[in-house]
Amino acid sequence: MNPWLMVVCMILFAMPVSAEVMLYVSPTGRDTQAGTEAEPLATLAGARDRVRTLDKDRPITVIFAAGTYRFSEPVEFEAQDSGTTRSHITYRADDHAIVRFTGGVNVTAWKPVTDKPVLERLPVEARPHVRVADLNAQDITELGELKVYGFGIGVNPAEAELFFGDRPLTPARWPNVGFNKVDKVLDPQHLVVDTDRIARWAQEPDPWVLAYWHHDWAEVHEPIVGFDAEKHIIKRSKEIEPKYGITAKSARWFADNMFCELDTPGEYYIDRQNRLVYLWPPEGDGLTVLSQATGFIEGRELSHVTFRGFVMGACRDTAVKSSGGSDLRVVGCTIRNVGTRAVEITGGTDHLVYGCDIGYCGAGGIMVSGGDTPTLTPAGHNIENNHIHHYSRRNRTYRGAVQFDGVGIRIAHNLIHHAPHTAILGNGNNNTIEFNEISDVIRESGDAGALYAGRDWTKRGTVIRYNYWHDITGETGLKGMAIYQDDQISGQTITGNIFENVNRAVFLGGGCDHTVTYNVFVNCWRSVHLDDRGMNWQRKMVTDPDETLQKRLRAVPYKSELWQKQYPTLANILEDDPGAPKRNLIRANISAGGKWDDIKASTKKDQVIDNNLVFDNDPTWITLVKDKAGKLTDIRFKDPAAIEKIAFKTIPVEKIGLYEDPRRASWPIEDTVRK
């Protein structure tokens, strides 16, 4: 560039930006008004349209007054709704105001059930308590549709769901907690089950079942098409084929959407034919809300825009979706009671989800993708300082609190807990997962990881550091792992993590080029696992060009100069005894209690394993110091000189987890796990 032109550009860039433009929105406003404090607009869509008419050379802030804003459909934002790098557009809640975006409607006029035939279908103990509301009389028309969902099927928008006091209620089910078993599989459509309740179920118009028919990590929610009460048989649809079949020994299930099982406070049933909703009200005060709209915000190629401080809930799909664009920020929002996810980001660059409180999602919490794999160009997305809990209440498995795919994505300082399956899920290159606290996940499944990635030789370069993993045991089968590097995925760095009360802490499923250093393990059943599956039971996956590993290898330019510089051992993987785990560095880790070594003996000659301190029989050798609230504050070792001898690197414990910031949705955090 011409030097004089460069100087002119620098001067122009340094010039002050014109005064910020302010618009105001209120539940009592009108979109035809001026948008001033005295004459506010009424809706997000109206604010978007007004912003389109403004000069984008100045920053624009749209302030929403306290109150509830009802959505019947998502508001769509296009590239024309973008700000610029110097003139950002912000939609935010007013200071100290509770601004609710709701996709639901309040259900009122609850009455006792008086119709005798209907009353007799209810359990005796429920009859005095259950109330009914007429949806037709309240002009509530959108009930959605019950659809099949689960492992290998995908995520569908939820049917209309009922919420009370900002918590999801439970479609009437049996058993009320946990699962029942299958006694015998006559064929895939006819299952003998261990219950005498089938005669009453046969009167139900639309019963469904959520089941793990074979694997601990593969569920399906599907309709029951018939019953044989005399033989205790439930009948499945021929159209729905379980991906792994049905095995009586491991199968477990519960039935739901059945009026006759409405027997517990907090359960409900929607009679779709007569448009009635029945509820045994839970204790306490609160609004009863039925979800209607699918979501709130959908951005396409939207850039330099912030949505901040809103409380979003009671929608049937994802609250906020974005594809493409750059520098979209979702900041300090509370997103709960959604049918699928809280936030979904596809592609684009430098997007941010920061300081949000996310809970009670039907599937995962945040799904994010981006970056370019062939050129290893980073996305620059950042998922930071979010509290994500009680998610995957519908789609139970493989829907993480954070699900990622791509290059150069950062997941940091998040608090994640309470889920039936995984916490952080995804494959990618050169991502960073740091300073997170993860606990109490894998509560309903097994053979699963709190952090899971697998079955790809090429997804390398991710750094997993300074995270605190605790109280992760798993429920069934092979139980749970904290960091699960499955099926020969390779080239990950696992350093400076703390593991406490975990079943298997670091699980390396036959991969190469992993670095496992400076980690602390306390009371873990197995601290570090390494196997050689690629040399035996998974050999076909290694050698067959039509299997996943080789197909994914061919999909990237792994022999290019760029890739060879980044991942030098990958280029010759097919000529270097593929399937044999090698070059894993396991150094300067400290383990107390449980069992340190779960490394297959025959593999050790091809790894570097040294300077690890192991005290299997002395869990007191390591002390994790916590404050009154249960937050980890320090690590102490019985013999500091031994720590110095192995050149152990200090873990910055004080930085782990959430941190106070005025942009956070709430502070302090009430942590139900620690209670």
Higher pLDDT, 32 or 4: 32
Give tens-digit pLDDT for 593-643.
999 999 999 999 999 999 999 999 999 999 999 998 889 999 999 999 999
- Of 471, 412, 466, 402, residue with least CA distance to 442: 471
- 189 is a domain residue: yes
Evaluate whether 590 touches 618 at the Cβ level (below 8 Å).
no
Whether residue 257 is found in the same domain as residue 272: no
Which residues, 6 or more positions from 98, have their beta carbon under 8 angstroms from its beta carbon?
Answer: 66, 311
In angstroms, rounded to a whole number, what is the distance separating the alpha carbons of residues 654 and 656?
6
Whether residue 239 is found in the same domain as residue 117: no
> How confident is residue 300, by pLDDT bands cut at 50, 70 and 90?
very high
DSSP 8-state symbol, 648? P
Evaluate whether 184 touches 254 at the Cβ level (below 8 Å).
no
In angstroms, rounded to a whole number, what is the distance separating the alpha carbons of residues 117 and 271?
14
pLDDT score, position 242: 87
pLDDT higher than threshold 80 for residue 9 = no
Whether residue 186 is found in the same domain as residue 240: yes
Q: Where are the alpha helices (DSSP H) in 473-557?
A: 539-543, 548-554
pLDDT score, position 672: 55
pLDDT score, position 628: 86
Cis amide bond preceding 242, omega within 30 = no
- 526 is a domain residue: no
In angstroms, rounded to a whole number, what is the distance separating the alpha carbons of residues 76 and 641?
61
Whether residue 255 is found in the same domain as residue 112: no
Whether residue 254 is found in the same domain as residue 267: no
Residue 114 vs residues 121, 131, 444: alpha-carbon distances, Å: 12, 9, 39
In angstroms, rounded to a whole number, what is the distance separating the alpha carbons of residues 457 and 513?
10
Give tens-digit pLDDT for 185-195.
999 999 999 89
Whether residue 179 is found in the same domain as residue 113: no
Average pLDDT, integer, range 92-98: 97
Neighbours of 267 (CB within 10 A): 23
- 131 is a domain residue: yes
CATH of the domain at 211: 2.40.30
- 432 is a domain residue: no
Whether residue 251 is found in the same domain as residue 111: no
pLDDT score, position 14: 45
Residues paired with residue 322 on neighbouring β-strands, in sequence order: 299, 345
In angstroms, rounded to a whole number, what is the distance separating the alpha carbons of residues 368 and 349?
11
Average pLDDT, integer, range 358-367: 97
pLDDT score, position 18: 62
Give tens-digit pLDDT for 105-143.
999 999 999 999 999 999 999 999 999 999 999 999 889
pLDDT score, position 2: 52
Give tens-digit pLDDT for 572-595.
999 999 999 999 999 999 999 999
Q: Which of residues 221, 253, 288 is at a domain's end?
A: 288
Whether residue 597 is found in the same domain as residue 624: yes
pLDDT score, position 596: 97
**Token output for 405:** 């795919």
Whether residue 114 is found in the same domain as residue 257: no
Can you point out the beta strands (E) in 455-517? Answer: 463-465, 468-472, 480-486, 493-495, 498-502, 504-508, 515-517
Average pLDDT, integer, range 369-390: 98
pTM of the model: 0.95
In angstroms, rounded to a whole number, what is the distance separating the alpha carbons of residues 429 and 233?
49
Work out the mean pLDDT of the chain and round it to a whole number: 95
- Of 170, 153, 156, 254, residue with least CA distance to 208: 254
Whether residue 631 is found in the same domain as residue 645: yes
pLDDT score, position 669: 87
- 135 is a domain residue: yes
pLDDT score, position 8: 34
- Of 533, 376, 562, residue with least CA distance to 454: 533
Whether residue 137 is found in the same domain as residue 275: yes
> How confident is residue 671, by pLDDT bands cut at 50, 70 and 90?
low
- 40 is a domain residue: no
Whether residue 126 is found in the same domain as residue 266: yes
Q: What is the DSSP string of 659-674?
A: ---TTSSSSS---TTT
Evaluate whether 483 touches 505 at the Cβ level (below 8 Å).
yes
Give me the phi and psi of 18, to 5 degrees please.
Answer: -60, 165
Give me the phi and psi of 426, to 5 degrees please.
Answer: 155, 160
Give tens-digit pLDDT for 218-271.
999 999 999 999 999 999 999 998 889 999 999 999 999 999 999 999 999 999
- 603 is a domain residue: yes
Domain hosting 606: range is: 587-649
| Domain count of the fold of the chain | 3
pLDDT score, position 476: 87
- What sign does the dihedral 602-606-607-611 (CA atoms) show? positive
- 320 is a domain residue: no
